[in-house]
Each structure stands twice: as C-alpha cells, then as structure tokens.
Amino acid sequence: MTGRKMADKKGDSGSESDSTEEPVVGNVNKFAVVPPGYNGRPKKGHLIFDACFESGNLGRVDYITEFEYDLFIRPDTCNPRFRVWFNFTVENVKGDQRVIFNIVNFSKTKSLYRDGMVRIPAKHVYYYRCPDHRKNYVMSFAFCFDKEDDIYQFSYCYPYSYTRLQNYLDNLEKKNYNFFTRELLCLTVQQRRLDMITITNPDNLDPEETKRIVFITARVHPGETPASYVCQGIIDFLISNHPIAKTLREHIVFKIVPMLNPDGVYLGNYRCSLMGFDLNRHWQEPSPWAHPTLYATKNALMEFDRMDFYIDLHAHSTLMNGFMYGNTYDDIDRYERQTLGGCLEDNSHCYTLEVSFFSYQTNSSNMKLGRNLARTFLDYYKLSGIISTKPTSSIVPKPGPYRLRDRQSERDQSNDVGYEESRQQRRSSYRNSEFNINNTNAFSETPTSIRLQLRDRENKRY
C-alpha cells in the first residue's frame, strides 16, 4: 500500500451542510466505478474504491469522465455537519493511468489547502469554489497511478488508528517496566478500550506521598491524527533512559489517556463520537451512557486533590506550526462549557496543545515535539523548586561545539529515543527560564516552534 498522496485540510469557518443532494451514509465497499451503460465485469482501469476499513472514510464516488471522479466524504456518524476526514484506497488501476479526483463536500471553507497543504506536488492540486457544486469549496487533485498492482491510499492526514495505539500499548506492556502501568478506564459504546497509562517511579504511587500530577489526553477529536504522534513522542521520551526522563519519573506522576474517542477514531469520524457528540463540549456534565470515555476520564482526574498540569492534545486545520491555548476566556460561561478547565483546581495549569495538520513534514517531527513538551516539565519543576536546581552531571551539557561523539554518547544513554537535537538547542533549553518548547526540524524550511507563556493561574481572574 502506498500513501502517495496525503492531503490535509481545512478550517474553521462554519459548516454548510446542504452540499450533497442525497445524504451520504456508510463507506464505499470495494466499489467499482464503471462508465455509464457499462454492464460487464470491471476491467483494468475501472477504479475500485474502498473505505471499509478502520478509520476509513469515503461515502460516495461519482463517475464524471474516464479521467475525473467526484468524491464525497462520509459525514461523521450521527452528525452530518462534519465532513473533513477522508481515508480510502484505490485499486485496479492501469499503469500510467491519470485521473482527477474532486473532493466536493467538505464542510469547512477555510483550509490549509489554500496554503499549499498537500503532500503531492502543489501544482497538481487545486482548491477553489466550484460553480458545479453549489459554489462549495472543492479540492481537486491530479494523480498518476504508476504501478498496476499497487493499492493506493489517500487520506486527509497521516492516519493513526485505534489498532495502532493498541499494538503500541501492548508492546509497551510487554517490556514490564516498573514505572509503566496501563489500566482500562472503561469500555466505549462499541466496546473498545479506553486506556490510561501511568508513568512514574513506583514509590510515587505510595498513598502517603504528595503527588505531582501531569495529566495528558489526546484524540478527543478523532480526525486530529497529528495529536497522536505528539502523544506517542511524549510517551516514548518519558519511558526512555534519558536522564531527564529518569528525573521526571522520580518526581512526577504522568497520567496519559492517549485516545479519548476510540469509537470516533475507528469509524473514521473527524470531530464526533459514534453518537455524533463533539465530546470536547461535554466535559462539564458527561453522561455515563452517552459519553462514557469522558465520564471515566473525568472521574480519574477528580481522584487527585490537585493537578499541576492538564494538557489536551489537538491538531489545527487552519493554522501553522504548533501552539498552546491557555484556557483563559474572559467569558467564564464559555470557558466552563467548552473545556475541562472549569472543573479543575484553581492552581492547575490547563492547556490545549494544537499542532498543525500541515506544517510538519514527517510524523517523527511531531513525535519530537511531544518529546520536547515532556522535557519542558523539567524546566518548570526546577523553576518551581520541586526538582533540585542542581542538575546531576549527566544532564549538564558539556561546553564546546557539538560533536558527533557527544551525540553517540547521548544515544548510548537513551536506547529508546534517538537524538537529533543540537547541543546548542539543548543548552538553551536548560538556560531558558521560560517555559519553552523548540522543535526544529532540520529537514523543514519552517521550524516548528512553540513558546508557552506560562502564566500562573493565580494571577488571573476567573
């Protein structure tokens, strides 16, 4: 299977739910598109579309010409307003067959497509208001299938499925780390697992101990796959042998719920749960039957007397790079309705980390962003005196230019996490008194850079 085209998409303006003449329900299932009037078996070159697989999404295909097809995103289950995520395969192609695919029913108009957000040559992609489709925004792209026997996969962004997460967690469990536990918080409506993992030195779980808790969640919005790569980067770092990870485990309890909406992820939704709820709007009073994953996660959160951080990982469809939202709305009602922040203690720091769907080139840069987020906790806890400011020799950067040999020795210290950061970056991250994440991708024109302005909630008026 080849992920030849990874088109990402769009934005934040309102949804126009009248774009399709007929409701699009269910995914296409090995659907062969043949010319009108053709009755025989599909021949080579009669494209076969399929989205009946995990996280798949394609609701309908219309034959326009031999070279052109209109594609319809299947709306979120029980919520036709959201049509953004797509993920489908095409097979039965002829060698060098050229086609134009038009994705015609996006529910949003603003899009990073306007900023060139595609991972095929930009000259082959057009994003425009189309007079033939009630002036909807249409994303059209030209594609040339080169190998007859390949199956081609197209998706809005790199997929990260429920099964992938389960395999990842299964493998971590097998390592039997004494600082890693995985627990089942609840089952979803469709009987999938809601996992919570805990990463900390087991001594910290002593009920007598005062715990410093960092709580992290991701994928409340199922289409926001980059959030999962960030989350995996955080976990990979925290379980590594890196001295910073070890120090953090000694002092901090990390609780991570990597996939808050497993059913939505499985179903290939963009925004909603199986029952069509945008779960991020239901933290205030989650229902145990309608929003079981929120209900269980909130109960887990409320078990702690205090929490230092709650960070929810998202992906943003119209803005670039990565950035944080602090939950600091002036309008307290809006703030409490929309976020978990209103449920937390006043002295908890509550953030939404948004990473763009587009402005990173590889998933490994998102994982690196996650790792850097984890590292910033050391800065924070040193500044707040929780972790001794006298660093151990193993984590003090040595003076002098960055050398390959240093890098090798760093690698030796960290079997699980490779290091691509420069010595200079590391040094500045130690020195910097701000809560600061820098994620520089050596291969990208645009470094992904996040600056968290850590403002104490005590200083704010809620």
Measured from the CB atom, the residue of 91 and 224 that comes closer to Zn ion is: 224
For Zn ion (CB under 5 A), the number of binding residues is 3
- Whichever of 138 and 260 has its CB closer to Zn ion, that residue is 260
Pick the stretch among 76-84, 231-239, 307-315, 390-398 that binds Zn ion (CB under 5 A). 307-315
CB of 150 to Zn ion, least distance (A): 33
Question: Taking CA 52 as the corner, what is the angle to CA 49 and CA 58, rounded to the nearest 5 degrees?
Answer: 55
Residues 5-24 that bind Zn ion (CB under 5 A): none
314 binding Zn ion? (CB under 5 A)? yes
| CB of 165 or CB of 244, closer to Zn ion | 165
> Least distance (Å) from Zn ion to the CB of residue 209?
34
Q: Which is nearer to Zn ion, 107 or 247 (CB)?
A: 107
Q: Which is nearer to Zn ion, 314 or 375 (CB)?
A: 314
How far is C-alpha 98 from the chain's CA centre?
32
CB of 60 or CB of 282, closer to Zn ion: 282
- The interface region with Zn ion, picked from 26-34, 67-75, 308-316, 387-395 by CB under 5 A, is 308-316
Whether 208 sits among the annotated catalytic residues: the reply is no
At its nearest, how many Å lie between Zn ion and the CB of residue 87?
17
Question: DSSP label at 229?
Answer: H
Of 221, 226, 300, the C-alpha closest to 267 is: 221
Q: How far is the CB of 269 from Zn ion (least distance, A)?
A: 12
Question: What is the smallest separation between the CB atom of 312 and Zn ion, expressed in angstroms?
Answer: 8
Query: Could you tell me the smallest distance in angstroms from the CB atom of residue 316 to Zn ion?
Result: 8
Amino acid, res. 293: T
Nearest alpha-carbon partner for 145 in 122, 127, 120, 123: 120
Q: Given the structure tokens 């088109």, which residue do they identify?
A: 7
Cα distances (angstroms) measured from residue 149 to each of 5, 91, 120, 258: 17, 8, 21, 36
Contacts with 122 (C-beta within 8 Å, 6 or more apart), sequence order: 116
Looking at residue 459, what DSSP letter applies?
G
- Among candidate residues 224, 354, 410, 421, the one labeled active-site is 354
* Span from 79-87, 199-207, 309-317, 320-328 in contact with Zn ion (CB under 5 A): 309-317
Length reported for the chain: 462
Closest distance of CB 29 from Zn ion, Å: 29
Burial-class residue 348 by CB neighbours within 10 Å (0-12, 13-18, 19+): buried
Instruction: Tell me how far, at minimum, the Cβ of 199 lies from Zn ion, in Å.
Output: 24
Binding flags for Zn ion, 38-77, as an x/- string (CB under 5 A): ----------------------------------------
CB nearer to Zn ion: give 70 or 224: 224
Q: Which helix (H) or strand (E) holds 224?
A: none
Report the amino acid identity of residue 176. N
In angstroms, the CA 139 to CA 113 distance is: 8
Cβ nearer to Zn ion, comparing 156 with 180: 156
Site string for Zn ion, 173-212 (x = CB under 5 A): ----------------------------------------
Query: What kind and span of H or E run contains 456?
Result: none
How far is the C-alpha of 316 from the C-alpha of 8, rounded, in Å? 11
Instruction: List the structure tokens of 51.
Output: 């989205």
Positions in 77-116 near Zn ion (CB under 5 A): none
Residues 207-246 that bind Zn ion (CB under 5 A): 221, 224
Query: Which token pair is 33?
Result: 């598109």
Q: How far apart are CA 311 and CA 305, in angstroms?
A: 17
Mapped onto helix, strand or coil, the DSSP state of residue 172 is: helix
Sign of the CA dihedral 338, 340, 342, 343?
positive
Q: Percent helix, strand and coil across the chain, each rounded to 5?
A: 25, 25, 50
Q: Tell me which amino acid residue 210 is.
A: T
User: Catalytic residue positions?
Assistant: 354
Binding residues for Zn ion, per CB under 5 A? 221, 224, 314
